[in-house]
Amino acid sequence: MRKYGFNMQWMFAYNGKEAEKPDLRQLEFIAKRGFNFIRVPTDYNFWTRNHEYLRPDESKLDIIDSYLRACRDFGFHMSLNIHRAPGYCVNNNLPERDSLWTDQAAQDGFCFIWEYFAKRYKGVSNRDLSFDLLNEPPNIGVGGFSRENHEKVMRRTIQAIRDIDPSRDIVLDGICGGSDAIPELADTGAIHSGRGYDPFIVSHYRASWLPFEYDWPEPAYPCMLDGHLWDRNMLLESYRPWRDVEARGVEIHIGEFGSHNQTPNDVALAWLTDLLSVYRELKWGYALWNFKGSYGIVEHGKPGAKYEMIDGYQVDRVLLELLLDNMIHD
């Protein structure tokens, strides 16, 4: 998983909208720079109505085929992710009827859709496709979540996929919003996907979607938080549990990272310089959230940002060069 790229929000955050077609112009730009990875987070509401988890609208799922074709055409590996699953989403903007962690109906629906994808894409090479089962499971205690019931759901789903397609590459996100390692699942053969969002004040300053109130000072980096100096050494140390899991033979990839556009650009770049150098040292691949948007390289809107017109896009060249400079080419 020494793969580098972006998250593309084509089937993300349903709220009644239609799925988008793959943006070929954006993919061309990304491919031209040598990136090789596209993560596609999805929302089950695009193909499910009235909580009928076992009756997906297959016509709505056809568009995922177009994502895979487009990624293949440009030489990308596509990571298919469920961001909102039956009974759970890290963004709690739509209430769920069921809990993925405690309700059989949601667990059956979650396993069913991955069985469906396993059948649909059986025979597709791992070079082109992997399954990232669930985006950012929650903190302990949220919605009945525990390490034990998370492990149960993930093991059941992994086995169901492998009963259909034994060789499919499977990815598991860390818990607690993706930040905490999951050593209890180190023996599954799955790739583990971490996050690059700490310290949270730098990555999520004034993020309107956060489900809590906060009164944070304007971020700085390096910075003191709870008696700890967050600098490069602290960033590296924060991944020690992930490195311990890696030492057990688990591949690690950073499925998301980045900084929201309310953080001053100089602060964001200073933090990202250290963060990306850590990933280079650890030889981990990564995917920025996102390409064009408040976390992206195009028109992100951070205070003090400077853009350069490149192939028709207003690009933060400094950020783009940081991404490129920390890629390791086999």
User: pLDDT tens across 226-254, in order?
Assistant: 899 999 999 999 999 999 999 999 999 99
Distance CA 267, CA 303 (A): 10
pLDDT (average), residues 72-91:
96
- The tokens describing 219, both together, are 């971020």
Residues in the chain: 330
Span 4-325: which CATH code?
A: 3.20.20.80
Residue 283: per-residue pLDDT = 97
Residue 213 pLDDT exceeds 70: no
Say what the pLDDT of residue 59 is: 93
Q: Euclidean distance between the first and final Cα of the chain, in Å?
A: 11
Give the DSSP per-residue string, 100-129: TTT-HHHHHHHHHHHHHHHHHTTT--TTTE
Tell me the pLDDT band of 209, cut-offs 50, 70 and 90.
confident
Say what the pLDDT of residue 259 is.
96
The structure tokens 């990136």 sit at 35
Residue 65 has pLDDT above 90, yes or no: yes
**Could you tell me what percent of the chain has a pLDDT over 70?**
99
Q: Where are the domains of the chain?
A: 4-325
Contacts of 71 (CB under 8 A, 6+ apart): 22, 27, 38, 77, 78, 128
Q: Give the pLDDT score at 54.
A: 97
pLDDT at residue 158 above 90?
A: yes
pLDDT over 90 for what percent of the chain? 89
Mean pLDDT of 159-172: 98
Q: How far apart are CA 192 and CA 134, in angstroms?
A: 11
Q: Is the pLDDT of residue 163 over 70?
A: yes
DSSP-derived pairing of the beta strands 129-132 and 77-85: parallel
Say what the pLDDT of residue 93 is. 63
Residue 160, sorted as left (phi over 0), alpha (psi -120 to 50) or beta, turns out to be: alpha
At 188 the three-state DSSP class reads helix
Tens digit of pLDDT for each residue in 261-289?
999 999 999 999 999 999 999 999 999 99
Contacts of 214 (CB under 8 A, 6+ apart): none
Q: Which tokens hold the place of 264?
A: 């001053």
The 8-class DSSP code of residue 206 comes to T
pTM: 0.96
- The mean pLDDT of the chain is 95
DSSP string of 47-67?
T--TT-TTS--HHHHHHHHHH
Instruction: Find which of 14-23, 155-164, 296-305 is predicted with most confidence, using mean pLDDT.
Output: 155-164
214 has pLDDT over 80: no
